[in-house]
Amino acid sequence: MPRIALLQMTSGIDPDANAATIGEAIKRAAGEGAEMLFTPEMAGLLDRKRERASRNIVPESESVLVDRIAKAAGEAGVWTCLGLPVLREDGRWANRTIVFDKSGEIEARYDKIHMFDVELDTGESWRESAAYVPGENVVTVEDTPVGRLGLTICYDIRFPALFEELGRHKCDAISIPAAFTVPTGKAHWHLLQRARAVEASAFVIGAAQVGRHEDGRQTYGHSIVVGPWGDVLLDMGGEAAGLQVCDIDLGRIAEVRKQLPSLANKRDIPKSGAQ
């Protein structure tokens, strides 16, 4: 039964400080017997002021943060899912998850597909697409400590077609790192996490940002692990950053899929046409 660790962060505008937090979490996760650590979306840098952020968003190949986390993961022998912004060759940014194996080698990259462009009644306005380019590929990682792992990021959770495709890949677990706003988190975080776990008959792992950040935003927290039956196995609350571990019973997946074989029963829905 693998043990995973979730790092709930209040990431700031200094990549060095964020890297130090993540590096210490990797060591602590290893000390607590975890085989894999999950960080939130944008764990390496959370800065909504684009001019200032641009000084710290570099190509992945030039990222000191990536090098430091790869080294820490390899030294501790802990698989690590890292969220960070990177500079693409075309000069625009990608909101990326990088998966390192226990040797510190990069196993996969996933760029967030759905951009967070919203106007909330609270007055919060977000235009992620103004600086970030959406990804185009569905990504899964084979043979991780939690089996076949599907990768998504935050706002992706609202788009069932992506999770339907991950269901076709028979993922054992799906990672949904996030930086949810407080209003949307209160309304939808737990609901959506549980729904996605039930739909995929898989574990859902949502490491989250929490609290008041240096750039002025406030995030919801409640880093979560949900089982394939929709039961919440871990909820870290919305008050403080920290690290917690959770044991994952992969045998539970087959039990649920045998009882309720929704993936096997899935049928293509015919397109409606004018009558």
pLDDT for the residue 155 = 92
Q: Encode 160-182 in three state secondary structure.
A: HHHHHHHHHCCCCEEECCECCEH
Which phi and psi angles does 133 have, rounded to 5°?
Answer: -100, 130
* Helix runs in 113-250, H state only: 160-168, 182-184, 190-200
DSSP annotation of 114: S
Q: Given 81, 102, 154, 199, which residue is catalytic?
A: 154
| Buried-exposed string 203-229: b where 16+ CB fall within 10 A, e elsewhere | bbbbbbbbbebeeebbbbbbbbbbbbe
pLDDT for the residue 235 = 98
- Give which of 210, 217, 213, 145 is closest to 175, Cα–Cα: 145
Q: Given 35, 81, 102, 112, which residue is catalytic?
A: 112
Active site residue 102: no
Tokens of 87: 């500079």
Active site residue 81: no
Which phi and psi angles does 87 have, rounded to 5°?
Answer: -90, 125
User: From the first residue on, what is the mean pLDDT of each consecutive set of 10 residues in the chain (275 residues)?
Assistant: 98 97 98 98 94 94 97 98 95 96 98 78 66 93 98 95 91 98 96 96 97 95 98 98 98 91 77 63
Active site residue 164: no
Could you tell me the domains of the chain?
3-263 (3.60.110.10)
Q: Given 35, 41, 128, 199, which residue is catalytic?
A: 41
